[in-house]
Structure 1
Amino acid sequence: MQNSQRTPGVVPGRLDQASYNRNFDELHPPLDAHEAHVAADRCYFCHDAPCVTACPTDIDIPMFIRQIQTGTPDNAARTILEQNILGGMCARVCPTETLCEEVCVRQVAEGSPVEIGQLQRYATDHLMEQGIHPFTRAAETGKRVAVVGAGPAGLSCAHRLAMRGHDVVIFDAREKAGGLNEFGIAAYKTVGDYASFEVDWLLKIGGIELRTGMKLGENLTLDELREGFDAVFLGIGLPGVNALRVEGEAHAHVRDAVDFIAELRQAEDLSKLPVGREVVVIGGGMTAVDAAIQSKLLGAEHVTMVYRRGRERLSASTFEQELAAARGVRIILNAQPVAFNTTDGQTVSSVTFAYTEDTPNGMQASEETFTLPADQVLKAIGQSLEGVPGVVETEGGKIVVTGPGRTSLDGVWAGGDCAAGGDDLTVTAVADGRDAAEDIHLALVGEAAVAAE
């Protein structure tokens, strides 16, 4: 540990290289073949398995685990990828503790579930590392579909459409594809350049063109897309960031947590990434937890996560909360910021919070306050929709959809975080994109053609 860990302000190089390597190593190392077989042997292969019902992409979990058990992991991977083409990433980042593994019969009976996520990773890695793409395109339909957003929903939609024989062009505002998987996932959950590797592997299906640097509402319009393509899918996520509207929010080193995480994910040398000594993270979701833990791993001495409501309202899972606590992150509940303070007139030095209480009339802030020292503040208070024209119906800051992603505008579908009703998870975005693609395919070729496939 270097002396710079105690240096005030936002500075790089708080730790030695060995500490960075250790801190940002994989959270869950992969299973080897023997470990995978031992883990697979624990599955009861339930009829009407509750784990399948709990999976947003409806993967036949008992089937793929049986295939691992019988020594055919590539077949297991195909079972997974038929339902979830981003099954490799989901195996790394899915909150399995609140989905499939939470309802596993082993978990209910013994408190120790089958390691479904780890087994899924074992199978998909085994196949993908060989460069195998198990799917081929159907005969070309002559139809062209625009997909806006190269995140989980857009990639899933594009792949399924390409499989059905359609030509797809994916437009994305950033310089790299991947969306949340590339820019928004904690670095210790998916190490190396796995997100880019998975995108490259997915594109091997063929029939998909990727155009980056194209943002809806700036150099790309929905009218142009509707004129130039037979259908449009919007998987744009929530690119805007909500403001706190608190005094002093414009002070230096008060920034959005999503930008902090994206910068960290793209950093080639973590020792050059500056972080505060006293870091305060505002929010109670997965982004807040990821920002808080990674600040600590970068060498921040004290990291405090502050959420305005009680623990029962935290959207971060119990597992994530416990992970944060184990990394030394303090969590304060029922408090909201009322002022970002400064001693030099420019840079944040502390944050004043008011205690809050949920009442029948909504959340109320009390007059009782406290102040935390802070040389860096990361805001993780939610994101908002941007770039969607008013002709597409929205509600509550998201696009209104019916059935498998149909918007209020004919010929336009939407899915993932930008669409109403989602859980803001990679796995649900994948399901949205897949299901919308099937509905787009039906709309383009007709029921008779689909029935004949």
Structure 2
Amino acid sequence: MTDKMKKTIDDFPLLKEMTPPMRPEEARIEADRCLYCYDSPCSVACPAHIDIPRFIKQIASKDTLGSAETIFEANPMGHSCARVCPVESLCEGSCVYLDWHEAPIQIGRLQRYATDSLFADGIQPFSPGKENGKRVAVVGAGPAGLSCAAYLRRLGFSVTVFERKPKPGGLNTYGMAEYKMDQKTALDETALVLDLGVDVRYETTLGEDLSFKSLEEKFDAVFLGVGLGATSSLGVPGEGLKGVYEALHFIEYIKNHEFDKIPPGETTVCVGAGNTAVDVVTQAKRIGTPKVVMSYRRGRNQMSAYDYEYELAAGDAVQFEWFTVPVAILGADRVTGIRLRKTMIEDGAVVELEGSDFEIACDRVVKAIGQSKQVDLLKNTAGIELESSGRIAVNDETMQTSNPKVFAGGDAVNGGKEIVNAAAHGKRAALGIFQFLFPGQEPGPEHQVWIQTIEGVRVVRPPNHHHDKEPEFANV
């Protein structure tokens, strides 16, 4: 394909960000609806425990910069979370308005309004702390690693991040559906962290370009934010044919605007029914694939994707084949079809029904049945204890692993949750590293606010240059 024929993001208007930003007057009207609840169930429901009533009150009082600082104080990934967090299941899902059968406060959109304003003004809300003489290695520049690095720099640590990809951000940069958040937004946010003086070594993979022993020798502590591994195998014939993709690879091509690597074709079949699978099928439709099918071994009510994700896929005319499993991918060199078998649920287990096979002609199959744990890397390379599930075993209070010098967070610990969960892990680990390297000492008073948000406490804050006159609060 010549350069003139290559598709660009402008050729796919349906991939553009779906949710429009709020206008100033719209944001203030919505902010004025907030009741500023004393016990703030929305803040409790947020894994990063952002002081939501505070930042909304600041928007209402036209202190938009102060609002953004309140958000980033508790969550360095607050800009991306405003776009991709499942707010219906977290903060907005806990809004007291729902008890009265009224629409909840649009917390996600208000958060985006505040953080967008900060980036539009080109403001860095924080600064690095006084150097404390200690060095920390962070493996992985995803949400957990970047969050940890941000707080470590504010605490005065020298931080070096090792990232296997050529760009920072992890799944924010490479794995989020384009219509939820574009890559520029993710990279703008990572720049806030890196501009604190974080050293980054790109295209450096632990266990290949970098030995764990060298990290232990050169650094005072190590944080592992390595995420999960490759997409799990289907274990069926034909899985190696051309036209078979891993879900995250498919999404990454779209994020990088490498549309020549994923021509729309005629029919795409995606196996799996989680949020990533929904990202695949909706984007397949939006790049022009006429027929897109989602195959899942259980039923609609058992799919792990959020309800609004399912509704999005259904609205894009995705076809659903419930209670089916793949038994073979068909084709000689390239995919020409997939053979599915019907299933039923018996005593909670999936049972395949012999003699029920049927075929769907297709030219692309995408595997979206979850990611494997990086057991070999973590156990053999890092030498740390794992849970039976393959997750890293940590102290929940400090994120410290079986190796006292090593801390961990994010998907490698929780098995794969939201960006905000990873950011919360990174924040907790940064404090854990400080306590490990400076036993018996407390961070300075300038760190009081973000430390309190680890457990979800709203505290009296020192006055700042913003016109913030709201009352102060006790524990939530």
Indicate the TM-score class for this superposition, using the shorter chain for normalisation.
Answer: over 0.9
Question: Which residue of structure 2 lines up, in the alignment, with residue 356 of structure 1?
Answer: 343
SS in 1 for 2:195: helix
**Equivalent runs, 1:168-317 vs 2, <5 Å:** 168-191=159-182, 193-206=184-197, 208-267=198-257, 270=259, 273-317=262-306
- Note if contact 2:9-2:257 (Cα within 8 Å) is conserved in structure 1: no
Distance 1:360 1:14 in 2: 54
User: CA-to-partner distance for each residue in 1:190-249, whole Å, 9 max, x for gaps?
Assistant: 13511111111222222x101001111111121111111000000011132211110111
The letter for the 1-side match of 2:384 is: V
**Equivalent runs, 1:125-136 vs 2, <5 Å:** 125-136=116-127
- Note if contact 1:37-1:69 (Cα within 8 Å) is conserved in structure 2: yes
- Note if contact 2:253-2:261 (Cα within 8 Å) is conserved in structure 1: no
- Note if contact 1:15-1:298 (Cα within 8 Å) is conserved in structure 2: no
Distance 1:134 1:230 in 2: 28
**Equivalent runs, 1:38-437 vs 2, <5 Å:** 38-191=29-182, 193-206=184-197, 208-267=198-257, 270=259, 273-342=262-331, 345-360=332-347, 362-367=349-354, 368-386=356-374, 387-390=377-380, 391-395=383-387, 396-403=389-396, 404-419=398-413, 421=414, 423-437=416-430
SS in 1 for 2:281: helix
Compute the displacement of 1:125 (Å): 1.2
- Note if contact 1:214-1:220 (Cα within 8 Å) is conserved in structure 2: yes
Distance 1:190 1:290 in 2: 12
Distance 2:312 2:4 in 1: 24
User: CA-to-partner distance for each residue in 1:312-333, whole Å, 9 max, x for gaps?
Assistant: 3211100000011111112222
Between 48-57 and 17-26, the greater mean CA deviation after superposition: 17-26
Count of residues in Structure 1 that have an aligned counterpart in Structure 2: 437
Between 366-375 and 31-40, the greater mean CA deviation after superposition: 366-375
SS in 2 for 1:35: helix
SS in 2 for 1:357: strand
Distance 2:349 2:261 in 1: 44
Distance 2:4 2:281 in 1: 18
- Note if contact 1:14-1:271 (Cα within 8 Å) is conserved in structure 2: no
SS in 2 for 1:218: coil
Is the counterpart of residue 23 in structure 1 residue 14 in structure 2? yes
| Distance 1:177-1:16 versus aligned 2 partners, 3 A rule | closer
Tell me the C-alpha RMSD between the 2 structures. Answer: 2.1
Return 5+ residue gaps in structure 1 as ranges. 1-11
| Distance 1:376-1:272 versus aligned 2 partners, 3 A rule | closer
SS in 1 for 2:92: coil
User: CA-to-partner distance for each residue in 1:303-346, whole Å, 9 max, x for gaps?
Assistant: 0111112223211100000011111112222211011112xx11
Compute the displacement of 1:82 (Å): 0.7
Distance 2:445 2:185 in 1: 38
User: CA-to-partner distance for each residue in 1:3-59, whole Å, 9 max, x for gaps?
Assistant: xxxxxxxxx999997983421221101111011011111211112121111101001
**TM-score normalised according to structure 2 size:** 0.88
Compute the displacement of 1:447 (Å): 2.4
The letter for the 1-side match of 2:248 is: V
- Note if contact 2:155-2:443 (Cα within 8 Å) is conserved in structure 1: no
Distance 1:444 1:275 in 2: 53
Is the counterpart of residue 439 in structure 1 residue 432 in structure 2? yes
Distance 2:378 2:416 in 1: 20
- Note if contact 2:30-2:105 (Cα within 8 Å) is conserved in structure 1: yes
Between 304-313 and 87-96, the greater mean CA deviation after superposition: 304-313
Compute the displacement of 1:61 (Å): 0.7
Compute the displacement of 1:397 (Å): 2.5
Distance 1:340 1:438 in 2: 49
Between 349-358 and 89-98, the greater mean CA deviation after superposition: 349-358
| Distance 1:445-1:293 versus aligned 2 partners, 3 A rule | same
The letter for the 1-side match of 2:339 is: T
User: CA-to-partner distance for each residue in 1:402-450, whole Å, 9 max, x for gaps?
Assistant: 223111112101100111x355211100001111111101111122243
Return 5+ residue gaps in structure 2 as ranges. 447-476
Distance 1:21 1:251 in 2: 27
* Structure with the higher fraction of residues in strand conformation: 1
Distance 1:329 1:49 in 2: 38
Distance 1:81 1:179 in 2: 19
The letter for the 2-side match of 1:130 is: D
The letter for the 2-side match of 1:400 is: A
- Note if contact 2:272-2:296 (Cα within 8 Å) is conserved in structure 1: yes
- Note if contact 1:306-1:333 (Cα within 8 Å) is conserved in structure 2: yes
The letter for the 2-side match of 1:217 is: G
| Distance 1:73-1:184 versus aligned 2 partners, 3 A rule | same
Name the % identity. 42
Question: Which residue of structure 2 lines up, in the alignment, with residue 5 of structure 1?
Answer: none
SS in 2 for 1:45: coil
SS in 2 for 1:240: coil
- Note if contact 2:231-2:367 (Cα within 8 Å) is conserved in structure 1: no
User: CA-to-partner distance for each residue in 1:44-93, whole Å, 9 max, x for gaps?
Assistant: 11121211111010011111101100110111111111110110000011
